[in-house]
């Protein structure tokens, strides 16, 4: 999910308009879901991965809100992640047809080598945000 926040924030920084940044990031979320990514198959690893991911997302969004960024960076980041919070985080919605469609269209891989693809996306996006800022 951190990928969604950072790419959304990057888009928000370029758009410089909070409502447009939020809408655009929401829209590209559905395309970004198609990038293959790591998702563990064991319960304890899943809990650990989601905890770390949510912590980093909260930290990033806090930084975008309180740090020296334009507000559209924050709104882009939030626009990138709110669909996941809604579709995955709320059990009745997760188990609904819409929630299951969202999960099953994603190329999840339990092979730990896929972590590096996530790391590459996160590192590249962070570097671009840093350079552009």
Residues forming the site for Zn ion (CB under 5 A): 33, 84
Give the nearer residue to Zn ion in terms of CB position, either 31 or 130: 31
User: Min. distance of Cβ 4 from Zn ion in angstroms?
Assistant: 7
Cβ of residue 131: shortest distance to Zn ion, in angstroms?
27
- Are residues 38 and 115 in contact, defined by beta-carbon separation less than 8 angstroms? yes
Least distance in angstroms from the C-beta of 29 to Zn ion: 6
Residue keyed to tokens 């980093």: 56
Query: 42 or 108: whose CB is closer to Zn ion?
Result: 108
Nearer residue to Zn ion within complex by CB, 84 or 118: 84
CB of 67 vs Zn ion, minimal distance in Å: 25
Closer by beta carbon to Zn ion, 12 or else 99: 99
- Do residues 64 and 2 lie in contact, with contact meaning Cβ atoms separated by under 8 Å? no
Contact 53, 6 (CB under 8 A): no
DSSP E strands in 23-112: the ranges are: 37-38, 108-109
């Amino acid at each position: 999910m951190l990928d969604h926040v950072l790419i959304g924030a990057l888009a928000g920084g370029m758009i410089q308009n909070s409502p447009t940044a939020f809408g655009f990031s929401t829209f590209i979320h559905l395309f970004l879901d198609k990038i293959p990514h790591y998702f563990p198959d064991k319960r304890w690893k899943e809990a650990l991965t989601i905890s770390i991911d949510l912590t980093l997302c909260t930290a990033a969004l806090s930084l975008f809100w309180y740090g020296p960024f334009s507000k559209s960076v924050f709104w882009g980041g939030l626009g990138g992640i709110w669909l996941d919070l809604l579709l995955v985080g709320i059990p009745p919605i997760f188990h609904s047809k819409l929630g299951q469609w969202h999960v099953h269209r994603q190329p999840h891989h339990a092979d730990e080598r896929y972590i590096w693809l996530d790391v590459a996306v996160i590192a590249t996006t962070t570097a671009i945000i840093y350079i552009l800022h």
